[in-house]
């Protein structure tokens, strides 16, 4: 019997099944420095231990998306090694901040299955939960992914598609315990605009563009121990559909988030991801731009120092965003690569 | 009103104005490791906590230029987002070592203004000061930069050009408090040559060459949170004057400093930068070489364990330095990219 | 007299001579994070402080090869700056784990010399020993390297070729003190296969391929302060034999080791390197694959929680390993770049 991991195929998943993913990972200040070097974020809460302490944290928390990518990476060998496509995310909430020294591990529960009519693939829905070394949930999310069958003849399971919220309800958003953002230092943060200053419908072009190099996206993706083959192997991908290594979709999310500082400089925390769609592939050499629209705003029931903004961030490649490219007709404008819908928390006046 | 930062234009600056720059940044061992990976420095004081402790430090200090680049990076969104050219540095002194755990922030005071005769640009002189979380000055320097006007019709301010020293006077150099370099370990440092062994006029070819990759200079520049657009955006720069992303001048400084180890291996501290000129642009794929000349040497009034060497380091691209290329006629030899004049401190016998 | 290091030539070495190499280096969590980003390893002991503590360690130890590369890097300026070829390694043992905070330094003793018949080069044999700040041996190994003579006329020394073991004897392998791998968590480690499950003769294709970028191997090699010129200088190498920068052989070792996780996921410790041969050069853009054969297995005299596996790992470029390419006739199959023979320790049932 081979000792290499062949991954799970569609018929290996059962609704209700729990997968304990391998490789707990201790986050360090080395990881946060690499994340800084790779994305260039400037949100003051993650950049400065002093800003974090003033808000009640013991230290500067890791970027929320760094935590997400590490938690996500662990699921790849069990969930998506034989995936054809990563179809979507939903109902992702950030429960606890992650600090250097925390050890993250991930568990997934299969919550839905639906075989495709071609009999060759099927959609697997999982809820994945990242926990720290104390067993506390750090974040959880639902992902669905199209997975190949090992054996076309294997009978289809009964279709079971979970109900997923279109967005996390504001009353379900979690603000970090024992913190206070009253009197948040907007000189240090670099933006005078607080929650009170944003209105639904407001569109913000984040202006800047950043070109992605192959070395960068591979280093990032390995940092998360994400082993999806398409990101690393030019020998094989060079013979494939695109002739190129595909960049991990999460890399574009992190870049778009870092770009969004220019206009959303006080959106210091991600509270939830309502949905995310990788509209088109991204490759080494592409220059990524982004813009955002405020979809909604909501106060938090338990906090008057923070408010929630529901933001849609669109990222493009080789296409500046002053014209706010996005969905059109049945698809998207040429050049759009990411459509991300999330809740951020921002200090209030 | 747009919430993105458009940066300041020439007419936005007033002599005497103080700018509190955003994004305090906690330096970590992750940053020093990345700096190591990007430049390959071998100065023993920054490499080894044991060497540093023997000299009286609590831990290995961060490389002086890492501190400089972080302090400098913070000024970009306010000072040079609309810059046409970074014209020069002067009167930079290093006051206190920076350790992992320190949080750096920067403030700049406008000390001079001079509009150009074309009415389209002007030169802004600022003194920028980097401080740690205790408010102690870590380093300060003067920079002048040519900035675009927003409105050509805006009246010119009275020309006010500050007097700047051609070099920091040796008596103004600051040696780190509560340290001693007596009996400095030259086996550990890798060089037997101490302050006593160098003489003004001595020229040293640092021999080695290092090729710069796009991923490297972008990672470095993001590590410093330096947001100057020209370094990151191939889409836009590809249509511009050079057709390429420009490498941050400070990247060349750090590379030249690391190369200078071969010949200046005991120049463990930078005490001052007298002046720096980026003679020609540097691009991904260029191979950087360097050579140095000892311009002067001076004892320190308060210390007999350390002496100061005034060093001029010339860096080139795709041009080995055995022939000591440098200034000639009104310009520089082809291939010269950096002309840097600084004071280093070196242990004495 | 020039102050740059010209390195030692063949006639500078004497049998019995001890070289104290420069630049002690404090390992940090930044280094381990960079190593993670560069190679993507997933061995649970190095990834998780929790897994390490459960086994009795104070913290997650650094990857054994990271320690090796740092110890090795220090020898380059004294041993191999004028090397024509790195001929081999033998008798390498790992004595103590390395943790962030440890400071490594290296000493080498010349144990053999043999001039080549052309009178232009000779082979130098050294035993290099890496120690931590307490003077404890962390690892030691023998390396032999072909070095140029400065002066062809210099008389040849008496040939003195040391006897080197073909492999480290199992009774000489060192397991880490005060640890226990009883009940090792194979869910966390990601592999159910323990020492008991492997048999000599077993071959494992590690399946995945990883493309190397120039920025990656240069960052890695600088992280180790390895100054071998051929890795960094495209200007000079572009005019040379290959027209390209050569990738440090240790980079391929680390990549092959990380790939070997897929099939050897519980081989958490490297106890010894019996021999290593860089069969062919590797360049930026090459995609590295690997496979392994279990050569032998041995219990440890003092431990019943760990057993030793002698493993031969072959790495290739642009050649998937399902056909187990390797030695043939007098050479190797085209595409093979590394032939590494080592002892790993793996938990027992």
Mutant choice from B31, B32, B36, B222 vs C, greatest count of C C-beta within 10 A: B36
The Cα-based distances of A42 to A9, A262, B87, B227, C342 in angstroms read 41, 9, 26, 10, 45
What pLDDT, in 10s, does the model give residues B165-223? 999 999 999 999 999 999 999 999 999 999 999 999 999 999 999 999 999 999 999 99
DSSP character for A56?
T
Q: Looking at residue C287, what is its pLDDT?
A: 98
**Residue % of chain C over a pLDDT of 70:** 100
Q: Looking at residue A87, what is its pLDDT?
A: 87
pLDDT band at A1 (very low <50, low <70, confident <90, very high): low
Residue A102 has pLDDT above 70, yes or no: yes
Read off φ and ψ for residue B255, nearest 5 degrees.
-65, -45
| C7 φ/ψ sector (left φ>0, alpha ψ -120 to 50, else beta) | left
pLDDT band at C204 (very low <50, low <70, confident <90, very high): very high
C211 to chain B, any CB pair closer than 8 A? The answer is no
Q: How far apart are CA C242 and CA C233, in angstroms?
A: 12
What pLDDT, in 10s, does the model give residues B321-338? 999 999 998 899 999 999
Cα dihedral sign, A318-A321-A323-A325: positive
| Contact: B77, A206; criterion CB under 8 Å | no
Segments of chain B scoring below 70 in pLDDT = 1
H or E stretch including A54? Answer: helix A49-54
Can you spell out the DSSP letters for B15-62?
Answer: TT-EEE-S--EE--HHHHHHHHHHH----HHHH-HHHHHHTT-SSPPP
To 10 degrees, what angle do helices A29-39 and B29-39 make? 60
Q: How far apart are CA C13 and CA C328, in angstroms?
A: 36
- Among A141, B203, B28, smallest CA distance to C34 is for B28
Displacement of CA A222 from its chain's centroid (Å): 16
| Smallest CA–CA distance from A3 into chain C, residue | C263
Q: Looking at residue C52, what is its pLDDT?
A: 98
B39 to chain C, any CB pair closer than 8 A? The answer is yes
What pLDDT, in 10s, does the model give residues C295-329? 999 999 999 999 999 999 999 999 999 999 999 98
H or E stretch including A189? Answer: helix A186-189
Of C22, C105, C222, the CB nearest to B39: C222
Q: Looking at residue C294, what is its pLDDT?
A: 98
Q: How far apart are CA C25 and CA B47, in angstroms?
A: 5
Q: How many Å from the N-terminal Cα to the C-terminal Cα in chain A?
A: 63
Q: Which two tokens stand for residue C245?
A: 């920068």
CA B213-A30-B5 angle, 5° bins: 65
Secondary structure in 3-state letters for C148-204: ECCCCCCCCCCCECCCCCCCCCHHHCCCCCCCCCCCCCHHHHCCCCCHHHCCCCCEE
B49 to chain C, any CB pair closer than 8 A? The answer is yes
| Contact: C211, A232; criterion CB under 8 Å | yes
| Smallest CA–CA distance from C26 into chain B, residue | B48
Question: What's the complex ipTM?
Answer: 0.97
Chain A residues touching residue B28 (CB < 8 angstroms):
29-30, 32-33
Domains, chain A, in order of start with CATH, read: 1-27+62-164 (3.10.129.10), 168-349 (3.10.129.10)
Burial profile C176-212: b = 16 or more Cβ within 10 angstroms, e = fewer: beebebeebbbebbbbebbbeebeeebebbbbbbbbb
- With 0-12 / 13-18 / 19 or more C-beta atoms within 10 angstroms meaning exposed / middle / buried, residue B298 is middle
Q: Looking at residue C1, what is its pLDDT?
A: 58
| Contact: C4, B262; criterion CB under 8 Å | yes
Q: Looking at residue A63, what is its pLDDT?
A: 98
- Among A98, A111, A109, smallest CA distance to A137 is for A98
Contact present, C221 and C253 (Cβ < 8 Å):
no
| Smallest CA–CA distance from A214 into chain B, residue | B215
| Smallest CA–CA distance from A77 into chain C, residue | C190
Write down the residue that tokens 């370099």 correspond to. B181
What pLDDT, in 10s, does the model give residues A43-61? 999 999 999 999 999 999 9
Read off φ and ψ for residue A220, nearest 5 degrees.
-60, -50
- Among A58, B258, B42, smallest CA distance to C225 is for B42
| Contact: A218, C204; criterion CB under 8 Å | no
Q: Looking at residue C98, what is its pLDDT?
A: 98
What pLDDT, in 10s, does the model give residues A10-34? 999 999 999 999 999 999 999 999 9
């Amino acid at each position: 019997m081979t000792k290499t991991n062949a991954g799970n195929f569609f018929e290996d998943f059962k609704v209700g099944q729990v997968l304990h993913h391998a490789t707990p990972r201790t986050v360090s200040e080395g990881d946060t420095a690499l994340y800084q070097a790779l994305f260039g974020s400037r949100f003051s809460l993650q950049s400065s231990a002093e800003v974090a302490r003033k808000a009640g944290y013991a230290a500067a928390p890791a970027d929320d998306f760094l935590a997400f990518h590490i938690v996500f990476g662990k699921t790849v060998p069990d969930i998506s090694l034989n995936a054809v496509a990563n179809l979507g995310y939903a109902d992702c909430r950030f429960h606890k901040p992650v600090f250097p020294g925390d050890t993250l591990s991930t568990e997934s529960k299969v919550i839905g299955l639906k075989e495709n009519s071609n009999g060759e693939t099927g959609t697997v829905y999982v809820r994945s939960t990242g926990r720290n070394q104390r067993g506390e949930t750090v974040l959880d999310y639902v992902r669905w992914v199209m997975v190949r069958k090992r054996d076309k003849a294997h009978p289809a399971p009964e279709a079971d598609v979970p109900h997923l919220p279109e967005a996390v309800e504001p009353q379900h958003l979690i603000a970090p315990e024992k913190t206070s953002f009253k009197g948040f230092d907007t000189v240090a943060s670099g933006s005078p605009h607080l929650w009170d200053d944003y209105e639904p419908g407001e569109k913000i072009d984040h202006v800047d563009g950043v070109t992605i190099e192959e070395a960068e996206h591979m280093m990032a993706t390995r940092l998360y121990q994400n082993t999806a083959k398409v990101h690393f192997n030019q020998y094989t991908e060079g013979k494939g559909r695109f002739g190129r290594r595909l960049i991990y979709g999460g890399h574009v999310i992190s870049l778009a988030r870092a770009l969004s500082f220019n206009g959303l400089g006080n959106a210091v925390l991600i509270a939830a991801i309502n949905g995310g769609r990788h509209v088109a592939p991204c490759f080494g050499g592409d220059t990524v731009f982004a813009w955002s629209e405020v979809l909604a705003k909501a106060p938090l029931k338990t906090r008057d120092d923070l408010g929630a903004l529901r933001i849609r961030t669109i990222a493009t490649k080789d296409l500046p965003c002053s014209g706010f490219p996005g969905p059109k007709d049945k698809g998207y404008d040429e050049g759009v690569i990411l459509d991300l819908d999330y809740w951020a928390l921002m200090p209030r006046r």
